[in-house]
Amino acid sequence: ALAHANFPRDELIEYLHLIQDRYGHISPDRLAALAHVMKLSQAEVYETATFYAHFQVTRDGDVAPPPLTIRVCNGPSCKMQGAEALVHELGDLQGGARIEEVPCVGRCDGAPVAALGKNIIPSATAQTVAAATRSGDSKAKIGTYENLDGYLAAEGYQAFHALMSGVLTRKDVFRELEVSGLRGLGGAGFPVAQKWRFLDGQTKPRVVAVNADEGEPGTFKDRHLLETQPHRVLEGALIAAFSIEADDVYIYLRDEYPHIHTILSTEIEQLMRRALTHGIRLHLRRGAGAYVCGEESAMLESLEGKRGLPRNRPPFPAQAGLFGRPTLVNNVETLYWVTDILNTGGADFLARGRRHFYSVSGRVKTPGVKLAPAGVTVRQLIDDYAGGMSEGHVLKGYLPGGASGGLLPASLADVPLDFGTLEPYGCFVGSSAVVVLSDHDDVPNLVRDLMDFLAHESCGQCTPCRSGIPKLQSFLDDPHAHRDIIEELSQVMRDGSICGLGQAAPNPVISALRHFSDDFKPKDRA
């Protein structure tokens, strides 16, 4: 019967998830069966499954992996808080379980973090992980959030309804966005009104794609917004769809946020059942552990059920995006502010001053998501928002924009964090993922970790990135001796890489050499 069912090609990753979730791995016979029912070649299914870290594709004769996997985050903030020691201790404790180190899981405010299935364990110790393991508690934990009834009671969906009933027009939306000066908050900072206008005059049908795949190590603000106020983001997405005359909204959610998947599934079902989307279809899709899919064109490929290989441009997504349709891609936080702007007006938004959600973690007393004015400094974030430096730690520097935004020293702690302010120092703020470093941290080791991460996550599609990152890594034992070639190679990577991953990959090395030059000398040249 399955062979005659309809299995849309773009849902391949969803089906792979079903198999992985149920059996803990994807065996050759199940892979072949899936290819058969989807009328795809086994090679197509295999290449997709093996691209994503969250699918474990086994071969004939392989021993099935242990039913239990404990994942320990090895992102920068978790490492600072003892993730390596935790892995070591768990290795001694957990007979039979598989211990896996994984890239940043977007919980830097709870570092160190371990995950047992969908159960995320913040401030993890060997004891708390062992307790969860014994109880077999692998379910996602959902906190308190504003559900549909709560949002409606707080006058939610008013802006969207004003549009649907003709009280507001598309023109009004574009004007308000223009006045507000809102810029995209996924990292690039492109003016939102201008981006939406690109869709004008494009063919129909059109699509909105919501990028909820924040994978930049140190970033967790989108998680915070979706797990507390999902409808405010959904309303922003519906406003976007109506404004660009799109019929469908696709939400691409990173797989590290299973609790949000549950929240969004429930709330979207409610919205659709009560006909509150006015015919606009909302589709929720899971990522599968590929950082590069945060790049918009790679995300579109993944939404089509393929490997997340970034596309060459042109054509841009606004011309030919998801399924070849004109597509508007916006980040979660951007859509959150769209709803705010439509409710109170662009002028009011501007008058209140631009604000962003900053993800602050590392050596501070109270890490977390901080709403602060655009242009706040890291010193203010530490002292006024994050309770000061951790006890016994002195500020040494910081990552202003996650793994690829570069490193800055304490002497530049008073530079405003905003679009364009850090470029003179060879860094950028990106998605505002601020990781604070102290005198306890070793910069060369951190740079090695960041480059390992980028090497692991490169899709390998283009030579400057695929070969350039390992080459840069090979110079890290004595970077001063290779300074000229590092500079030259970095320029080639910036100029010749297809996507932002390769273009920004030299940043940790170049900025560390510029601002922490002495850190590489005594130890690494001894």
Under rule CB under 6 A, residue 326 binds ligand SF4: no
**Choices 77-85, 156-164, 376-384, 493-501 (CB under 6 A): range interacting with ligand SF4:** 493-501
Under rule CB under 6 A, residue 490 binds ligand SF4: no
Q: Is the Cβ of residue 112 or residue 500 nearer to ligand SF4 in the bound state?
A: 500
90 contacts 132 by C-beta, under 8 angstroms: no
54 contacts 14 by C-beta, under 8 angstroms: no
The residue from 3, 460, 481, 488 that contacts ligand SF4 (CB under 6 A) is 460
Under rule CB under 6 A, residue 451 binds ligand SF4: no
Under rule CB under 6 A, residue 498 binds ligand SF4: yes
228 contacts 145 by C-beta, under 8 angstroms: yes
The residue from 76, 217, 258, 310 that contacts ligand SF4 (CB under 6 A) is 310
Q: Is the Cβ of residue 266 or residue 473 nearer to ligand SF4 in the bound state?
A: 473
Q: Is the Cβ of residue 294 or residue 409 nearer to ligand SF4 in the bound state?
A: 294
Under rule CB under 6 A, residue 466 binds ligand SF4: yes
Under rule CB under 6 A, residue 502 binds ligand SF4: yes
Identify which of 201, 228, 483, 454 has the alpha carbon closest to the alpha carbon of residue 333.
Answer: 228
List of residues 6+ apart from 155 with CB closer than 8 A: none
Under rule CB under 6 A, residue 103 binds ligand SF4: no
List, as one string, the DSSP characters of 235-288.
HHHHHHHHHHTEEEEEEEE-TT-HHHHHHHHHHHHHHHHTTTTTT-EEEEEE--
Q: How far is the CB of 471 from ligand SF4 (least distance, A)?
A: 13
Burial category of 161 from C-beta neighbours within 10 Å (exposed 0-12, middle 13-18, buried 19 and up)? middle
Q: How far apart are CA 45 and CA 396, in angstroms?
A: 47
* Binding-residue total with ligand SF4 (CB under 6 A): 14
502 contacts 491 by C-beta, under 8 angstroms: no
Q: Is the Cβ of residue 258 or residue 402 nearer to ligand SF4 in the bound state?
A: 402
Beta strands in 294-367 (DSSP E): 327-331, 355-362
Under rule CB under 6 A, residue 297 binds ligand SF4: no
What the block records as the tokens of 306 is 């393929």
Q: How far is the CB of 454 from ligand SF4 (least distance, A)?
A: 8
Under rule CB under 6 A, residue 403 binds ligand SF4: no
What the block records as the tokens of 180 is 């507000």
Q: Is the Cβ of residue 292 or residue 382 nearer to ligand SF4 in the bound state?
A: 292
Select the residue whose beta carbon is closest to ligand SF4 and give its number: 502
Q: Is the Cβ of residue 368 or residue 500 nearer to ligand SF4 in the bound state?
A: 500
3-state secondary structure 493-519: HHHHCCCHHHHHCCHHHHHHHHHCHHH
Residue numbers at the binding site for ligand SF4 (CB under 6 A) = 292, 310, 458-462, 465-466, 497-499, 501-502
